[in-house]
Amino acid sequence: MRVHLCAVGRMRAGPGRDLLDDYLNRFERLGRSLGLGPVSEHEVAARGGMAGEARALGRALPRGAVICVLDERGRQISSPDFARLLARWRDEGRADAAFVIGGADGMDAALYQRADFRLSLGAMVWPHMLVRVMLGEQLYRAATILAGNPYHRE
């Protein structure tokens, strides 16, 4: 199952970019044997307010992808549950999973309506660039859980 990070804004070079790249590379290396990956990033411009961003993000979503929007009002799940969710989508034959991260003002209702799942990384609001890094780490952690790797400790 291919994984897509669809996000508003460009992540510039620096420590955040380096950390995200590290987690995504780890995920891809481990995920290959699990039927997960590769990861593609789709960055869209922050133009036209939430409605304009939603249109741009909508164009970035692969046809038929399971759509997971990141939202502080979404479901909070454990890392093992996240791993099981990815495995379920993969096992159901979903070719693509798209994780959608909105801009600074949030996400347009049209994207929420298209979502198959709304995921929260906690009740706190996080900068959208940091959310990318946190999602990258959770993708890698999910792969380690599915592979039985000791990275994740319960």
What residue ranges define each of the domains in the chain, with the CATH number in brackets?
2-147 (3.40.1280.10)
Contacts of 61 (CB under 8 A, 6+ apart): 4, 6, 67, 98, 100, 114
pLDDT at 153 over 80: no
The string of DSSP letters for 64-123 reads: T-EEEEEEEEEEE--HHHHHHHHHHHHHTT-SEEEEEE-BTTB--HHHHHH-SEEEES-S
Number of other residues whose CB lies within 10 A of the CB of residue 65 = 22
Q: What is the pLDDT of residues 53-105, one digit of tens each?
A: 999 999 999 999 999 999 988 999 999 999 999 999 999 999 999 999 998 88
Confidence category of residue 107, pLDDT binned at 50, 70, 90: confident
pLDDT confidence of residue 146: 97
Which tens digit of pLDDT belongs to each residue from 8-61? 999 999 999 999 999 999 999 999 999 999 999 999 988 888 889 999 999 999
